[in-house]
Amino acid sequence: MKRSRRSEYGKKRNSSKKNSEQKFQFSKTAPKKSTPTIDRLKSFEIDENQEKKYRNRKVKPKKKSGCFNYQLPLGVVIVIFIVKLISGVVRITDEPKTWKDDPIMLEVERKSKASLQNIIGKNTTFLLVGPRPMKEVFQLKKDSLFPVIPYVNIHLYKGFHLYDASLLLTSQLFAKFSKYYFFYDRVKKSSYQSMTNQWTEIRGKLAGRIEGTNFSHEETKNYHFKELQIAEKEFKITASGLELHGLATLVEDKTHRYFFHFISKEKEGTYFNAPFLKKYLNYYLKIQ
């Protein structure tokens, strides 16, 4: 039977092994005194029998955490956030600038006003009867009479341009000559509004559709004729550089109300010549 090479190797190794202390003895009878150097070397000596009791253990290297890879960009983000937060607080605490200090907003406002003036200048009826386009029907070749209700008639002179009022909500007749407008509205009598309030609501809604438009009025006369209640008004509509000076005669019968208007388109700041308009309104509106 063959012996294993491992057993022969172990036998030779054990037989050749000597006591650890004998390695440092030079004589059996006179052992050499111990010195610090010998003691230090003994501390490094390995006992092979004890060494066999322990297995060879591999120390696995610790994996480096990936958090360090994100620490730098995360820190940068935090710093930027703090800087922006501080700058935002400073901006809020500062006195805010108004839109009047912004040249862009001023330019937008200027263009808006110019566009509005252009619209109103070309289509003044926008403030009077609404956004629907007015289509001219014909021009009067002679003086004409239009009856409305008993005791009330409209007398228009030669040269007036008549427009189609069939698509308008309340206006029954719309006429224009030069810078002057004559038209009237017919509405059902309201049971909860006075005649003046109902008229003011209609005029105010039409004029108030454009921002910055102002509508004002005052009563000059209030009386009765036959079965009719009549009120006379002076009013003015101011809109972006233009003024519409007007007179209105409000007439009420048993079931309906009629609002007659005579208006002159003027530049802003023009003197309101009410007697002049009243003279011509009496020509056009006959209550007798």
pLDDT in tens, 95-152: 555 545 556 665 555 555 555 555 555 556 666 766 666 788 889 999 889 999 999 9
Statement: residue 249 has pLDDT above 90: yes
- DSSP, collapsed to helix, strand or coil, labels residue 135 as coil
List the structure tokens of 49.
Answer: 């029998």
- The whole-number average pLDDT for the span 258-264 is 90
Q: For residue 284, how many other CB atoms are within 10 A of its CB?
A: 19
First-to-last alpha carbon distance for the chain, in angstroms, is 156
Q: In the prediction, which pLDDT does 61 show?
A: 62
Sheet containing strand 285-287, strands side by side = 144-149, 152-156, 285-287
Convert 85-121 into a string of H (helix), E (strand) and C (coil): HHHHHHHHHCCCCCHHHCHHHHHHHHHHHHHHHHHHH
Looking at the chain, the whole-number percentage of residues with pLDDT higher than 90 is 13
Q: Which of 197, 175, 196 is nearest to 184 (CA)?
A: 175
Alpha helices in the chain (DSSP H): 5-15, 36-43, 48-52, 67-93, 103-122, 195-207, 274-284
Between 280 and 241, residue with greater pLDDT: 280
Residue 92 pLDDT level (bands cut at 50, 70, 90): very low
* φ, ψ of residue 114 in degrees (nearest 5): -65, -40
CATH of 122-287, one of 3.40.50.300, 3.40.30.10, 3.40.1000.10, 1.10.10.10: 3.40.1000.10
Residue 55 pLDDT level (bands cut at 50, 70, 90): low
Looking at the chain, the whole-number percentage of residues with pLDDT higher than 70 is 51
Q: In the prediction, which pLDDT does 152 show?
A: 92
Are 241 and 250 in contact by the 8 Å Cβ rule? The answer is no
Average pLDDT, the chain: 72
Statement: residue 215 has pLDDT above 60: yes
Q: Which of 272, 215, 273, 266 is nearest to 242 (CA)?
A: 266
